[in-house]
Amino acid sequence: MPGPSPLAHEATRARRRNPHQQLLLLHPNPNSRPQAGLDKQNSHLSPRREVAATAMISATATAAFLAAAPASSSSCTTHRRRSRLPAISASLATASSTEEPLLVRAARGEDGLPRPPAWMMRQAGRYMAEYQALAKRHPSFRERSETTDLIVEITLQPWRAFAPDGVILFSDILTPLPAIGVPFDISDSKGPVIQSPVRSEEQVRELTPIDFEKLRFVGESLKILRSEIDGQAALLGFVGAPWTIATYVVEGGMTNTYTNIKSMCHTAPNVLRGLLSHLADAISEYIIYQVNSGAQCIQIFDSWGGQLPPHVWEQWSKPYIKQIVNKIKIECPNVPLVLYINGNGGFLERMTDTGVDVIGLDWTVDMADGRRRLGNKISVQGNVDPAFLFSPLPVLTDEIHRVVKSAGPKGHILNLGHGVLVKTPEEAVAHFFDVTRSLRYDTLFQGCVTEVLEPVA
């Protein structure tokens, strides 16, 4: 684990900002939209604020802060705490449930929300100039994703710049592997590399229960972030699904063919089942750890589940996702779970009985069709094509409106259908969130009768 970061003071300098002083821009009708090229200095058009420097925190003070950090309101063992979200508008002040962030309420499918919440997958990172400058000073991804001060700073960068409704921890789905006895390196040319791929019963037996002493930087970061965000957005944690994590563990890194792990389904099924079961147990405990450290919503990435035929996914991925969900619903029943599979158009109906609260749609699925297939008793997330962020801003505005209207006025978290792409213009990301804050369900769906949709059998 990397030692203390030289960025420690820099990372804490500006954490006491309030980017949500103008959280909502309410327009009387759906055609009243923010204009392209919003003036970043015009406070009544944009929630983005300049950095307000704060006193530097010493190592001793940081430790004291962590020890005194308030318990998570979504903790598996505590009751929800009332949010200190500022009173922004009369409609929000009189809402039926204001103690929790908009994103959490949308994930649960609550009625009466003013608009969809929004965040972006890969929202913190490589497209931002601020992140690129930090990465030059700290070129190791492992250092950036395993050092508390760097994690906190990188996670807060897009929140300060764009004020999304969800703030997701800067981390990686492979981060917990060393804590179960699977070391890995990251190569600039090959990505993650596991020197000893797990392909035998003996190797599976050598895997250890998850050791949270090796993941303290995750818990510390979440506690700090929860305090910094202070109820103004939802704090999201995330994990990889067992099948997706297993592809790296078995293949030894990235792959385009998945031949080793797919062949194990037939040549060494007991070995693969043992590996997947161990991963499911470890991932379940890791989710609980994140929740008890402050995460209010968890996304499960089955990124490579879409590489399986649907009937094979049913056998080799779905049962282990259900194992995780079942445990979390017992231990942390109030924490919404989101399931995202890249390339999930052929899986939607099969995903509904995993027990998750939200299903993420990638951009290849038409939102209206996805909603019809899933019904409106489960929430959905997505699904603007990330390439739209390279389009003229009015085109992006129209696509956001189309997706939101297709998803309906309940149970929708606006997101991209995949992660933010490299070289995405920051102006487009800002516009995405500005447009979302301008939306109002009562005008978008004025005069409409919401149809009850049952999932397709």
**Tens digits of per-residue pLDDT, 20-64?**
333 323 333 333 333 333 333 333 333 333 333 333 333 333 344
Q: Which long-range contacts (CB under 8 A, 24 or more apart) does 181-184 make?
A: 181/206, 181/207, 181/208, 182/207, 182/249, 184/248
Q: What is the pLDDT of residue 189?
A: 79
Element (H, E) at 86: none
The number of helix segments (H) and strand segments (E) in the chain equals 19, 9
Give whole-number Cα distances, 129 to 48, 114, 150, 169, 427, in Å: 16, 32, 15, 19, 12
Mean pLDDT, rounded, for 410-420: 97
Q: What is the pLDDT of residue 67?
A: 42
Q: What is the pLDDT of residue 90?
A: 33
Q: What is the pLDDT of residue 75?
A: 55
Instruction: Give which of 400, 420, 352 is closest to 380, Cα–Cα.
Output: 352
* Reported confidence tier of residue 169, pLDDT bands at 50, 70, 90: very high
**Tens digits of per-residue pLDDT, 242-257?**
999 999 999 999 999 9
* Higher per-residue pLDDT: 23 or 203: 203
DSSP per-residue letters across 255-320: -SS-HHHHHHHHHSHHHHHHHHHHHHHHHHHHHHHHHHHT-SEEEEE-TTGGGS-HHHHHHHTHHH
* Reported confidence tier of residue 376, pLDDT bands at 50, 70, 90: confident
CA torsion sign for 415, 417, 419, 422 is: negative
Q: Where are the beta strands (DSSP E) in 191-259?
A: 191-193, 234-240
Mean pLDDT, rounded, for 251-273: 97
* Reported confidence tier of residue 190, pLDDT bands at 50, 70, 90: confident
Distance CA 296, CA 366 (A): 28
**Tens digits of per-residue pLDDT, 110-145?**
999 999 999 999 999 999 999 999 999 999 999 999
DSSP per-residue letters across 106-171: HHTT-S--SS--B--TT-SSTT-HHHHHHHHHS--HHHHHH-HHHHHHHHHHHHHHH--SEEE---
CA torsion sign for 403, 404, 410, 415 is: positive
What spatial distance separates the first Cα and last Cα of the chain, rounded to whole Å?
48
Which range, of 79-93, 219-233, 349-363, 372-386, averages the lowest pLDDT?
A: 79-93
pLDDT exceeds 80 at position 420? yes
Helix axis angle, 59-68 relative to 216-229, nearest 10°? 80
**Tens digits of per-residue pLDDT, 310-356?**
999 999 999 999 999 999 999 999 999 999 999 999 999 999 999 99
Report whether 441 contacts 414 (CB < 8 A).
no
Q: What is the pLDDT of residue 452?
A: 55
Q: What is the pLDDT of residue 30?
A: 35
Q: What is the pLDDT of residue 453?
A: 56
CA 236 to chain CA centroid, Å, is: 5
Instruction: Give which of 376, 325, 315, 316 is closest to 353, Cα–Cα.
Output: 325
Q: What percent of the chain has pLDDT over 90?
A: 75
- Sheet with 297-301: list strands edge to edge: 166-168, 234-240, 297-301, 337-340, 358-360, 379-384, 412-416
Which domains does the chain possess? 105-445 (3.20.20.210)
Phi, psi of 114 (to 5 degrees): -75, -25
* Reported confidence tier of residue 456, pLDDT bands at 50, 70, 90: low
- Which residues, including other chains, have CB under 8 Å from residue 319's CB and lie 6 or more apart? none
Which range, of 41-45, 195-199, 234-238, averages the lowest pLDDT?
A: 41-45
Mean pLDDT of the chain: 83
Element (H, E) at 351: helix 348-351
As given in the structure block, the two tokens for residue 345 are 């158009």
* Higher per-residue pLDDT: 92 or 209: 209
**Tens digits of per-residue pLDDT, 53-99?**
333 333 333 344 344 444 444 556 433 333 323 333 333 333 334 57
Stated pTM of the model: 0.80
